Amino acid sequence: MIKPMAKTPLIFALANPSPEIGYAEAKEVRPDAIVATGRSDFPNQVNNVLGFPSIFRGALDVEASQIHESMKVEAAKALAALTREDVPDAVSQVYGGQHFVFGPDYIIPKPFDPRVLLWVAPAVASAALKANVAKKKIDIARYREELADSMDRSRQIMNIAISKAKDKIRRIVFPEGDSLKIVKAAHALHHEGICQPILLGYQKQVLGIFKDLNLDPSGIEIVDPRFDKRREEYSQKLYEIRARKGMLIREAQQLMERRTYFGLMMVQNGEADGLVSGVTKTYPETIRPALQIIRMKDKYRTAAGLYIMMIRDRYFFFADTTVNIDPTAEQLAEIALQTAEKAEFFDIPPRIAFLSFSNFGSTPHPINDKIHKAVELVHLRRPDLIVDGEMQADTAVTADLLENYSFSTLKEPANILIFPALASGNIAYKLLQRLGAADLIGPVLLGLNKPVHVLQQGAAVEEIVRMAIIASAEANANATSSKKLKS
């Protein structure tokens, strides 16, 4: 029956658990066939979960009087359109790291793809409105945003950053331009109008990745530092920056062959507005050159790493989690001040707790003496901030426990947690991420004069996109601050 079928035949064998013809048998007879079954162990699984939950959700949210035929048609069209979109890492991980691109083995979204709701439900709701079977009128764009917010706890805080990033499109450079994840992130950022990505790498190789992913490279700048005429200029400027730190001109020339150094010099020279890197490198490999080239903000001397943690419906800012192993009191104070500024950047009023193993002097120790001094320094530099410590972690985040310390300036649970050492901060965020199912954004690098963010090695595409959004938003915020200072 299958052998004489026309070119590229469609074979939908949907009986479960035994299809009318097995996938392997169908492909053996007709290798050009597009085969779909109800089985999860073969490509193109047709599964009820792709249709019914989202169809009902869209219909119920507009109080539809019936499931009109057009609502089902629009649901099908939405599923078809979704297959043309780039597939998130989270979906690939569920399927053993497989890479999905629209084609014969991927003509329908995967059942575990969380985006199905965001595509199908609004399409169904819109069709119900057009068919006049909806009793409740809704704004479809706003409805889609509400659905997304209900699924992704990071969206509320990231929407603020997106809004700030779109004030003016900024140029963000990615030194790892030949990374598949970076290419996917750059395409998403350009497609959404967030920033102008600049990918560093061998042009032929980068374009090959775009082709393999079936993505359009139009509008994305690709720079090959090997042949870029700015290399000599950058080498000289790097030498000038580091000459008094023992660097020779030939060392600067050699370093400019490394894309991280080249990208950072683009930022330092004003030919890019920010940099995001680290997905294929260790954290120190990226942060070290960043600290060497990009100057610190005038009022700070301490760089630090911050993670924004989303736990249930609460946001917490954890610092320092990536840079300072054993910070001094002065460094702790600067870490707290910069973290407070970042909370305000996201329109969140800061409430700062310096953490330790005791509450308000209950256990005298040099660590706690250091914290007390840090609290005093924060009060001196920003008396408007709500800050207290030292205190135990559960005291800082629990209203009932805080009530036992009526003298504390912290009347509500803290949303900024400053850790006394890198070990405690790093351990805390990783345990919460893995065991507490916390969502996180970061690491956000604090202290540098220009936006540079160092990803954790192996970061997902979604994490890369988030950090690029934050870098773009910071670039716009820095430009606004500069204008205010000049005026």
Mean pLDDT value of segment 327-341? 97
Percent of the chain with pLDDT over 70: 98
Answer whether residue 253 is part of any domain.
Answer: yes
How does residue 483 score in pLDDT terms, banded at 50, 70 and 90? low
- Backbone torsions φ then ψ of 381, nearest 5 degrees: -85, -30
Q: Which of 74, 72, 85, 73 is nearest to 113 (CA)?
A: 85
Task: Identify the domain boundary among 125, 151, 177.
Answer: 151
Assess if residue 240 is contained within a domain: yes
Task: Give yes or no: residues 305 and 410 share one domain.
Answer: yes
Q: What mean pLDDT comes out for the span 350-371?
A: 95
Residues 340 and 439 in one domain: yes
CATH at residue 321? 3.40.50.10750
The pLDDT, as a whole number, for residue 52 is 85
pLDDT band at 35 (very low <50, low <70, confident <90, very high): very high
Using 50, 70 and 90 to split pLDDT, how confident is the model at 152? Answer: low
Residue 153 pLDDT > 70? no
Looking at the 3D structure of the chain, how many domains does it have? 3
**Closest to 159 measured CA to CA, from 173, 174, 148:** 148
Distance CA 170, CA 220 (A): 13
Same domain, 316 and 238: no
Q: Which pairing describes strands 439-446 and 304-311: parallel, antiparallel, or unpaired?
A: antiparallel
Is the confidence at residue 485, as pLDDT, over 60? no
Residues 6+ apart with CB under 8 A from 90: 114, 460, 462
Q: What is the mean pLDDT of residues 85-94?
A: 78
Do 175 and 256 reside in the same domain of the chain?
A: yes
Geometric angle at alpha carbon 173, from 457 and 300, rounded to 5°: 80
Greater model confidence, 482 or 429: 429
User: Does position 67 have pLDDT exceeding 70, yes or no?
Assistant: yes
Residue 465 lies in a domain: no
Q: Taking residues 129-133, what's their average pLDDT?
A: 95
- Shared domain check, 88 and 210: no
305 and 415 together in one domain: yes
CATH number at residue 88: 3.40.50.720
Binned at pLDDT 50, 70 and 90, residue 49 comes out as confident
- Tens digits of per-residue pLDDT, 436-461? 888 899 899 999 999 999 998 989 89
Give me the mean pLDDT over the 241-269 stretch.
94
Mean pLDDT of 414-436: 95
Whether residue 149 has pLDDT greater than 80: no
Q: Are both 307 and 442 inside the same structural domain?
A: yes
Mean pLDDT of the residues in the chain? 92
Tell whether the model's pLDDT for residue 95 goes beyond 80: no
Q: In this structure, are 138 and 271 located in the same domain?
A: no
Q: What is the pLDDT of residue 192?
A: 87
H/E element, 308: strand 304-311
* pLDDT in the model for residue 482: 64
Out of 151, 186, 221, a domain closes at 151
Task: Evaluate if residue 420 carries a pLDDT over 90.
Answer: yes
Q: Is position 96 within any domain?
A: yes
Over residues 108-117, the mean pLDDT reads: 88
The two tokens of residue 425 are 């901060």
What pLDDT is recorded for position 113?
Answer: 85
Burial 164-195 (b: 16+ CB within 10 A, else e): bbbeebbbbbbbbbbbebbbbbbbbbbeeebb
- The per-residue b/e assignment along 305-320, b for 16 or more CB within 10 angstroms, e otherwise, is bbbbbbbeeebbbbbb
Pair (312, 435) in one structural domain: yes
The answer as to whether 341 is a domain residue is yes
Q: Are residues 311 and 443 in the same domain?
A: yes
Q: Is 430 helix (H, G, I), strand (E, B) or coil?
A: helix
Range of the domain at 96: 47-151
Q: What is the pLDDT of residue 311?
A: 86
Nearest alpha carbon to residue 419 among 339, 313, 483 = 339
Whether 323 is covered by a domain: the verdict is yes
Whether residue 432 is found in the same domain as residue 334? yes
| Each residue's pLDDT tens digit, 162-192 | 889 999 999 999 999 999 999 999 999 998 8
Question: Length of the chain in residues, anyone?
Answer: 487
Give tens-digit pLDDT for 277-311.
Answer: 999 988 888 899 999 999 899 999 999 999 999 88
At 469 the pLDDT is 95
Question: Do 327 and 442 belong together in one domain?
Answer: yes
- Give me the pLDDT at residue 486, please: 62
pTM: 0.78
What is the rounded CA–CA span in Å between residue 51 and residue 66? Answer: 16
